[in-house]
């Protein structure tokens, strides 16, 4: 059967087997990886099994078929609809060959077309936008001598600032939840990963396959309760197990660096906090350090102890007599406040950003109120500005209440 399809595709559509050939059953299309830059046959399962298409499907298959789970990573909108999947993978006007039934396009495909064998010719790599290898191809193409002058000039060092910018843009977009804007920002961040992998490949050190393999192996290794026979019943169990595994990894890595195969059993040279980047914002780094220490058992039993520590640090700050001492005590106070947030399950970096946004918005209201009075903000005393601050808070609260959906009426209110 496949030989006949290959011969016909060669004759009618110029199939080149040198480019490879993917064969997908129509029934499992949603669960099968497809690379659009390679030719694809989509064949009814009955036909592939050697049963002619003239045999009704209900005579060759059970009445009830277990639903096919979509391919992870492609299981978002329309992930269970094979035509929607093809529409996401291919351009709308991309031609589709129907064996024995002429030609059509991706956008004109119907469910009935999946009852016959289809030939999907390859698309140009840069048009296979939803495929996993489109961006690596585009990145490589941009770096070639006849590519983009800007891309050819980039180095790992020159791209660092762009990586940070894109990371913070993703962070901001996360506040809106799962939105198209977040998808776009994640794509911008992914581009930075692809570009660095391209530079690594050009240097002959690593490529994107190494990047993907490294993280996949690491995640599998650190989840033996999922991919092995370990047991972790709570998130706390997982965190403790994670830190134990990372400690072993650090010991092995340090041993390999020294070239001593037996050193992994010796004292671990790298500590649990050594992997935390010094480039992280201070609040985020502080929380990460304290979370790691907690996972290893160094933590207050309850939040009351942390709150007592806040009071203690406030007292030490009040008693500090020199600028150096005040700076040190203030840092200690911030660290303990971060610990309060951690104990409450609050991401301190995000909490402070939200507080900054609130301060910014209220101060803008104050500036508007002052402008309406026709005076300069610097000419007002603190008491006046503080009163305006309270007015801005009240205005903010009233605006929020107007935007909030009305609460459903109570039984008594509906009765009246």
**Does 393 fall in a domain?**
yes
CA separation for the pair 275, 243 (Å, rounded): 12
Model pLDDT, residue 258: 64
CA separation for the pair 18, 5 (Å, rounded): 16
C-alpha dihedral sign at 68, 73, 75, 80: negative
365-390 pLDDT per residue, tens? 999 999 998 999 889 999 999 999 99
Whether residue 291 is found in the same domain as residue 371: no
Model pLDDT, residue 67: 72
| pTM of the full structure | 0.71
Cα–Cα distances in Å, from 203 out to 134, 146, 198, 207? 21, 19, 9, 9
Model pLDDT, residue 2: 86
Model pLDDT, residue 162: 94
Of 195, 221, 247, the position where a domain reaches its end is 221
**Does 152 fall in a domain?**
yes
Of 221, 243, 268, the position where a domain reaches its end is 221
Whether residue 6 is found in the same domain as residue 123: yes
Whether residue 117 is found in the same domain as residue 153: no
Model pLDDT, residue 99: 94
Question: DSSP class of residue 24?
Answer: E
Model pLDDT, residue 22: 94
Cα–Cα distances in Å, from 36 out to 90, 119, 130, 171, 412? 7, 12, 8, 32, 62
Model pLDDT, residue 59: 41
Whether residue 139 is found in the same domain as residue 206: yes
Report yes or no: 78 and 85 within 8 Å, Cβ to Cβ: yes
Model pLDDT, residue 333: 95
CA separation for the pair 192, 155 (Å, rounded): 11
14-45 pLDDT per residue, tens? 999 988 999 999 999 999 999 999 999 999 98
**Does 111 fall in a domain?**
yes
Report yes or no: 37 and 133 within 8 Å, Cβ to Cβ: yes
Residue 89: phi and psi, rounded to 5, are -90, -25
**Does 68 fall in a domain?**
yes
Report yes or no: 117 and 44 within 8 Å, Cβ to Cβ: yes
Note down the domain range covering 28. Answer: 2-127
Cα-based angle 225, 226, 228 (whole degrees, multiple of 5) = 65
CA separation for the pair 320, 9 (Å, rounded): 83
CA separation for the pair 327, 321 (Å, rounded): 10
Question: Which residues in the chain come in under a pLDDT of 50?
Answer: 51-66, 261, 263-268, 407-416
Residue 24 C-alpha from the chain's centroid = 29
**Does 362 fall in a domain?**
yes
Whether residue 106 is found in the same domain as residue 145: no
Mean pLDDT of the chain: 86
Tokens standing for 4? 């006949």
CA separation for the pair 151, 339 (Å, rounded): 43
- Structural domains counted in the chain: 4
Of 83, 111, 127, the position where a domain reaches its end is 127
Tokens standing for 281? 């914002």
Whether residue 153 is found in the same domain as residue 217: yes
CA separation for the pair 230, 133 (Å, rounded): 35
Report yes or no: 77 and 183 within 8 Å, Cβ to Cβ: no
Collapsed DSSP state (helix, strand, coil) of residue 296: coil
- The domain spanning residue 191 has which CATH number? 1.10.287.1080
Whether residue 35 is found in the same domain as residue 69: yes
């Amino acid at each position: 059967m496949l030989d006949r399809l290959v011969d016909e595709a060669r004759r009618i559509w110029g199939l080149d087997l040198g480019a490879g050939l993917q064969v997908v059953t129509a029934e499992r299309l949603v669960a099968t990886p497809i690379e659009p830059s390679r030719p694809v046959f989509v064949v009814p399962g009955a036909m592939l099994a050697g049963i002619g298409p003239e045999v009704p499907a209900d005579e060759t298959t059970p009445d009830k078929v277990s639903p096919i789970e979509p391919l992870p990573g492609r299981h978002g909108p329309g992930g269970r609809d094979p035509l929607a999947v093809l529409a996401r993978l291919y351009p709308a006007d991309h031609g589709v060959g129907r064996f024995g039934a002429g030609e059509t396009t991706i956008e004109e495909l119907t469910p009935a077309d999946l009852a016959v064998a289809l030939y999907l010719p390859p698309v140009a790599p840069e048009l296979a936008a939803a495929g996993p290898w489109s961006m690596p191809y585009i990145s490589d193409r941009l770096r070639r001598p006849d590519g983009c002058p800007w891309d050819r000039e980039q180095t790992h060092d020159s791209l660092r600032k762009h990586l940070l910018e894109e990371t913070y843009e993703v962070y901001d977009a996360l506040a809106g939840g799962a939105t198209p804007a977040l998808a776009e920002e994640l794509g911008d961040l992914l581009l930075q990963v692809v570009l660095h992998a391209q530079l690594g490949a050009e240097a002959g050190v690593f490529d994107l396959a190494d990047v993907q393999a490294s993280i996949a192996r690491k995640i599998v290794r650190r989840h033996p309760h999922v991919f092995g026979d370990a047991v972790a019943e709570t998130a706390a169990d997982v965190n403790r197990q994670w830190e134990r595994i990372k400690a072993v990894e650090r010991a092995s890595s340090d041993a390999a660096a020294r070239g001593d195969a037996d050193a992994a059993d010796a004292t671990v040279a790298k500590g649990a906090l050594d992997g935390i980047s010094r480039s992280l914002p201070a609040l985020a780094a502080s929380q990460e350090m304290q979370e790691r220490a907690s996972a290893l058992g160094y933590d207050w039993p309850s939040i009351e102890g942390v709150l007592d520590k806040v009071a203690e640090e406030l007292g030490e700050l009040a008693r500090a007599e020199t600028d150096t001492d005040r700076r040190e005590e203030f840092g200690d106070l911030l660290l303990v406040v971060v610990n309060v947030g951690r104990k409450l399950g609050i991401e301190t970096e995000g909490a402070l950003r939200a507080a900054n946004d609130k301060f910014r918005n209220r101060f803008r209201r104050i500036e508007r109120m002052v402008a309406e009075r026709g005076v300069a903000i610097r000419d007002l005393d603190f008491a006046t500005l503080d009163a305006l601050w309270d007015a801005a808070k009240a205005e903010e609260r009233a605006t929020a209440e107007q935007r909030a959906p009305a609460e459903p009426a109570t039984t008594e209110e509906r009765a009246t």
